[in-house]
Structure 1
Amino acid sequence: MGKIVVENINIKIKDMEKTLDLKSQWESFKLENPKLRIRDAAKQMGTTEAELIATSVGETAIRLQDQFKEILKEIEGIGYVMGLTRNDHCVHERKGIYKKVTFDGAMGLAVNPDIDLRLFMGQWKSGFAVDENGRKSLQFFGKDGVALHKIYLTDTSDEAAYTALVEKYTAEDQHRTLEINTEKAIVTEKPDAEADVDAFKAGWLALKDTHDFHGLIRKYGLTRTQALRLAPEGHAAQISLESLKAILTKISVTDLEIMVFVSSAGCIQIHTGLIKKILETGPWFNVLDPEFNMHLRMDGIASIWLVKKPTDDGYVTSIEVFDAEGNIIVQFFGKRKPGIPENEDWRMIANELAVLV
């Protein structure tokens, strides 16, 4: 028994030494790269964002209990906040109130006109309350130390409610070791000749709901980009980056409401509404509206597809943007609800301005 205690103490000492060493490296790195965001800094340093945040525990960060569902249900009490979900190439920021957060097992929903989320709680592994020069937030990370979802206070948020929430869910052991696993499953695309392409096309044409598409490609063992390449004639076409920019710019001068989906491993965040202020700066194509911001890094885009799927309500048109590994960066749809046909103006703009490549 005594030997086990000594071994545990030795492990904790080694972990603390590792954290202190990383903290020193992180402080030096910030001085040399003051404008670099923490996600990019972590990659350059060969570590993870969660581990960098953990170096500030006791100063600007507080480790939270792993009761993520309970925390999310109580965010509503903080009031008007900004939710942020991103991947390597697109940032989605939406302001609003976290109402109607519900869970069915590991799956969660927040369905509101402003905060609209799909939550995959099996991916959520650690969380922190962070105070970055007075900017307070709750930040949640996956098993690989990559950020899944962040919630930032705004000028009108209830700071007292935030403080009470953080105190309620502060972890007892603030320096508990982060268990980081950066191994990724290798996705290999099987040869087209091994796929039952005819049956897949028939399944596509028989779709009743866009949500069934994921199950369809899994059934036939296809990657998403492979599925688009093998789509029935007239149902998927690769389009240019310039045409995507033209479509979004055209929409910005209309009163057409669209849907913008961006996901991390543990969250899909959706904006439904107008996009108005478009600004291109360097590699970034931005939407900069009061309640919704999107930052799309164009040099991370490998392909863009104009996709058409049949449903019980008629065809649904989407624009789907992918990186070089075949991961979805962002998706665009016309605003719609089940039982309501797609907006014809969205369909017309998407088809008329799409330039095939």
Structure 2
Amino acid sequence: MSLSPATPTPSLAALRIAFAEGRRAARSRHRDLAEALGVSEGELVAAHAGAFPADQSPLQATPLRAEWPAVIGALAPAGELMALTRNPSCVHEKTGVYAPASASGPAGGEMGLVLGREIDLRIFYSRWAHGFAVVERLADGNTQRSLQFFDAQGGAVHKVFTRTGTDLVAWQAVIDRFASPAAAAEPVGIQTLPAAVPPEVKPDADVDVAAFQAEWLALKDTHEFFGLLRRHGLARTQALRLAPAGHALPLPASSAHALLQQAVAQSVAIMVFVGNAGVIQIHSGPVQRVERMGPWLNVLDAGFNLHLREDHIARAWLVKKPTSDGPVHSVEFFDAAGETIAMMFGERKPGQPERADWRALAESLAAEGETCAA
């Protein structure tokens, strides 16, 4: 969150010292420390740029030039890295190589893709405002290296972490290439913009439901769904309520746990989409280890970790969309404000029909929901 006009801004030195104390005392996450200090996570990281006494904080941040597609496109030689994308309710972590990477569209509004087997991203660079190369001395004596990218509100949109298999020479070459000329200057912090006002939702009575449903039934590709919502001015959960009969069924909020457990038990390969306004990150493949820890539902696999706040799930839906390859089912989870937390599909490539085992699993969730409601 950004600072409100009524909140006095802590000095940069005070932010660094408070950060160091929080990490030392409770190993608190950057995001949680920033919230406790009344600043955005981007502001907290930016307070560590430039020259300051080393005993103030174990973290050092180097600002990067706003050439985001080029930065992401330069990461492949570094080899093994961990990609982290999150929203307020879910964290998605994948280990792999950032390749192949591409970008298209006008400068400043590029859409980016990373289409590796492990690292699979859809990137909206227009939402990226700040980036830093971060080095932190951890309490266990190890050093954590990352690239961290933030939106105009100072919220984290994407992070990249080194791993044991990372080529640190190639990693440092990326930082040296894209370091901002301001990197050696005195820290000045960043200014963040107020949170964007969400668009007003069109009342159901103003929606041409018949036309919307007809267009839904005429879909040829799942990627056409966003355009369908935009043409009719619909929020996603509103669209699910107004869906053609049998194409959007409400599920119990507990369906995430049931889905992941059954995917493990039945060896069903799935796709897990988690994103924010700047990035959508995708896991494709099986899941093997699912554990609950307090409010968190976790996948703890080699190369893929998912951390989902089950208590944030207010609604879940089984959604069916027609495509030229046959119907495709997704299970979608939303918070109380109607924001998407995560979406899950059966693993598939364009041109392939949906997996029968995934369809059976997804439809079984709706059957269980009907049983529970009876």
Q: Give the TM-score normalised by the residue count of structure 2.
A: 0.87
Deviation at 1:237, TM superposition (A): 1.1
Paired residue for 1:122, among 123, 126, 129? 126
Q: Does 1:223 align with 2:216?
A: no
Aligned residues: 341
State the alpha-carbon separation in 1 of the partners of residues 355 and 10 from structure 2: 58
SS at match of 1:317: strand
Tell me, yes or no, if the aligned pair for 1:145 and 1:182 is still in contact at 8 Å: no
Task: Write the deviation string for residues 182-217 of structure 1: whole angstroms up to 9, x where unpaired.
Answer: 321233222211111111111111111111111111
Paired residue for 2:34, among 21, 25, 42? 42
- Structure 1: unaligned runs, 5 residues or longer: 1-15
State the alpha-carbon separation in 1 of the partners of residues 332 and 101 from structure 2: 27
Partner of 2:56: none
Identity across the alignment (%): 43
State the alpha-carbon separation in 2 of the partners of residues 82 and 151 from structure 1: 6
Amino acid at match of 1:148: V
Aligned pairs for 1:164-175 within 5 A: 164-174=173-183, 175=187
- Structure 2: unaligned runs, 5 residues or longer: 1-8, 51-58, 138-142
Tell me, yes or no, if the aligned pair for 2:111 and 2:124 is still in contact at 8 Å: yes
Partner of 1:66: 66
State the alpha-carbon separation in 2 of the partners of residues 276 and 29 from structure 1: 34
Deviation at 1:30, TM superposition (A): 4.4
State the alpha-carbon separation in 2 of the partners of residues 17 and 51 from structure 1: 11
Tell me, yes or no, if the aligned pair for 1:313 and 1:339 is still in contact at 8 Å: yes
Aligned pairs for 1:189-200 within 5 A: 189-200=201-212
Tell me, yes or no, if the aligned pair for 2:46 and 2:189 is still in contact at 8 Å: no
Amino acid at match of 2:96: G
Amino acid at match of 1:47: V
Partner of 2:224: 212
Partner of 2:12: 19
Q: CA RMSD in A?
A: 1.7
State the alpha-carbon separation in 2 of the partners of residues 30 and 158 from structure 1: 27
Deviation at 1:45, TM superposition (A): 2.2
Partner of 2:337: 325
SS at match of 2:229: helix
Q: Does 1:295 align with 2:287?
A: no
Partner of 2:159: 150
Amino acid at match of 2:194: T
Tell me, yes or no, if the aligned pair for 1:207 and 1:310 is still in contact at 8 Å: yes
SS at match of 1:216: helix
Deviation at 1:244, TM superposition (A): 2.8
Tell me, yes or no, if the aligned pair for 2:47 and 2:188 is still in contact at 8 Å: no
